Amino acid sequence: MNWYEKLSQYFPVEEMKSKEHMELLLKDKGSVYKKDDSPLHVLMYVEMEDFTFIDYLFVSKKARGQGLGKKLLNKLKEKEKPIILEVEPVDYDDTDTEKRQRFYRREGFKHAKSIGYSRRSLDTGKVNEMEILYWSPTDESEESIYQKMCHTYENIHTYKDEELYGESYDTVEKVLTYEEVAKKEPTS
């Protein structure tokens, strides 16, 4: 099974880019769009100067629980820059969503509570709500994470979308929102 088949069997169709899209990103934007794969995993990510965005992380059932996901994340963390990713909200009818969130929390990822992400799938027309998680070696602000996420959406997710899918994805302003979450004052 090739890397794309592994991803498309694991990720919902609403979250998947086409194989042509990913191959075009690897070819045209190979300096920033990367693939790391083996028989047991596939990691697709964007390596920018000031952050990393994980597009897809798949670890085969055989290898789960053996530290491979942690090892892959640690390799990215060694670069000492924020790591951002999209993850499905917990769906109690799908235990994988809860396991995924627990895994990222255990690895030090935080939920960007002030960032909203809602994207319509060009494949199904279904609107997909996602949560933005991030890890930062410094105290990166959620506003900064939002800006980096907007950059990723405009330059990676929607890259040649009309050419590839026959229509365009929604604009970044419609898909990503930023609303500063009020910090609670400590009570005495």
Q: How many CB atoms within 10 Å of residue 90?
A: 14
Q: Is residue 56 part of a domain?
A: yes
Please name the amino acid found at residue 64: R
Task: Please provide the distance, in angstroms rounded to a whole number, between the alpha carbons at the two ends of the chain.
Answer: 59
pLDDT (0 to 100) of residue 180: 83
pLDDT of residue 182: 64
**DSSP reduced 3-state for 29:** coil
Residue pLDDT tens, the chain, 188 long: 899 999 999 998 889 999 999 999 999 999 999 999 999 999 999 999 999 999 999 999 899 889 999 999 999 999 999 999 999 886 666 667 678 889 999 999 999 999 999 999 888 888 989 999 999 999 899 999 999 999 999 999 999 999 999 999 999 999 999 998 766 555 55
Tell me, yes or no, whether 184 lies in a domain. no
Is 51 inside a domain boundary? yes
What is the pLDDT, as a whole number, of residue 184? 55
- The predicted structure's pLDDT at residue 108: 97
Exposed e or buried b per residue across 26-44, where buried means at least 16 C-beta atoms within 10 angstroms of its C-beta: eeeeeebbbbeeeeebbbb
Note whether residue 134 is domain-resident: yes
Task: Let me know if residue 120 belongs to a domain.
Answer: yes
In a domain, 188, yes or no: no
Residue 187 CB contacts under 8 Å (≥ 6 apart), including other chains: none
User: What's the pLDDT at 35?
Assistant: 98
User: Quick check: is 185 in a domain?
Assistant: no
Question: Residue 64 sits in which domain range?
Answer: 3-178
| pLDDT at position 58 | 94
CA–CA separation, 59 and 72 (whole Å) = 10
In a domain, 48, yes or no: yes
Could you tell me the sign of the dihedral formed by the alpha carbons of 138, 141, 147, 150, in that order? Answer: positive
Residues ≥6 apart with Cβ < 8 Å to 143:
114, 178, 180
State the total domains in the chain: 1
CATH number of the domain where residue 122 is located:
3.40.630.30
Q: What pLDDT does 8 receive?
A: 94
Task: Give CA–CA dist 12/8, Å, rounded.
Answer: 7
